[in-house]
Homo-oligomer: A and B are copies of this chain.
Amino acid sequence: MLPTVSTIPLRHMASGDVLSLQVYKFIGAHPGKKVYIQSNLHGAEIVGNAVIHQLIEFLQAVNDTDLLGEIWLVPVCNPMGTNARSHIFSSGRYCVYEAKDWNRIFWDYEKDTDDLLAFANSQINFDPKVVRRNYLTAIKQKFDKLLEKIHSPSGSPYTQRFSSKLQSLSLDADYLIDLHSHTNQGLNYLYFFRNREESAKYFLLQFGIQLDTYDGDAFDEAFIKPWLALEECFKQLGREMRFDVEAWTLELGTGMQMNPDSVEKGIRGVKNYLAQKGVLRISGFPIESTSHEMSLKLKTVVKKYYAPTGGMIQSRVELGNSVKAGERLYQVLNFNKEGKLPTVIDVSAEEDGLVYDLCSNQAVNEGEFVLAIIG
């Protein structure tokens, strides 16, 4: 099965050059779900490009009769982020012009709508498929207003133009997967949303973090929040409704790297998820779920540690270690400019947990991130 490949102009630069998106679409012989997968939204988080590349290779060897629905793939989905450099580093986590994180800029229908409860009420007796279609229509109508504003003489800032391009590709997806990694050094895990625990496990990763609080306007959030909100409205009205709409952010290891182990875990997870969801019929998948135990946590139990003073980090616990409250996590080798000898300061864990993220830079100014622990 060959994909259709389309190139979409994204940004006209001051120099007259144009940056573009490129979408690879695999269309199954049978109708079904729409899966949307992108990578490299943050400039340093490149690992997903290898995952998508290998998926493109893999899917070409699959018969279209074994794909139910369609899979849209958008690697290097943020050229401004991917190409940004500061010295040798991939500094493209945020738009340097607007000072906005590239993953906190997406349009959230829930914030832009007035009376979701009334809408739910109007659909209370409808078939879920009809509700989904009607709701999607409502979302798109509102989204079109955003596009109108973008094309008015006063226009819109680039982050809005950019986010609207990615959202116009993905707004009507059923399953959305955003491939990230830590900018720093991290384990392989995922973020998920409430009532999607079962599907989370299909990704076969070490653990998952439930976004019980929102970061605000992230890609996955902006996609799924309107559906979660509508489910909540139905619940208030006494009807249990669960849309088969899911959003995932996979964190595959370490920034600026495409670690083979992380790539392999990413591909395996995506294949297994798609097989479990009935999108792909491929040999070897789904993998017996009993063979894998994935631990699920709430985001609110994450504790991040920030340097209490400036200096050099040494004697730090290792990535993947478990620590006990009171145990030393790291030292700061602390220099001064007051004629005194350097000192070494110990920092200890406040609570038990797993060390799942480490800063890559072992020099810190006061208040810079050192490590993160999940309880």
Contact = CB atoms under 8 A, between A and B. Distances in A.
Contact of A89 (B7, B86, B336): B86
Contact of A7 (B184, B304, B339): B339
Which one of A49, A85, A348, A350 has the greatest number of beta carbons of chain B within 10 Å? A85
Interface in A100-150: 100-101
A363 B309 CA distance: 28
Interface string A2-16: 010111000111111
Interface in A18-33: 18-22, 24
Contact of A362 (B100, B158, B256, B361): B256
Given A17-B337, A339-B6, A99 B87 contact: yes
Interface stretch (A90-98, A226-234, A242-250): A90-98
Interface in A270-319: 303-314
A308 B136 CA distance: 29
Contacts of A168: none
A71 interface: no
A157 B17 contact: no
Interface string A308-333: 11111110000000000000010001
Which one of A15, A159, A342 has the greatest number of beta carbons of chain B within 10 Å? A15
Contacts of A309: 12
A177 B355 CA distance: 37
Interface stretch (A62-70, A202-210, A366-374): A366-374
Identical copies of this chain, number: 4
Given A156-B306, A312-B49, A17 B20 contact: yes
A352 to B, nearest CB: 13
Contacts of A161: 366-367
A82 B349 contact: no
A360 interface: yes
A303 B272 CA distance: 44
A162 B368 CA distance: 12
A76 interface: yes
Contacts of A347: 153
13 contacts: A5-B340, A11-B367, A15-B83, A17-B18, A46-B363, A75-B342, A87-B94, A89-B91, A93-B99, A158-B366, A158-B368, A161-B366, A258-B312
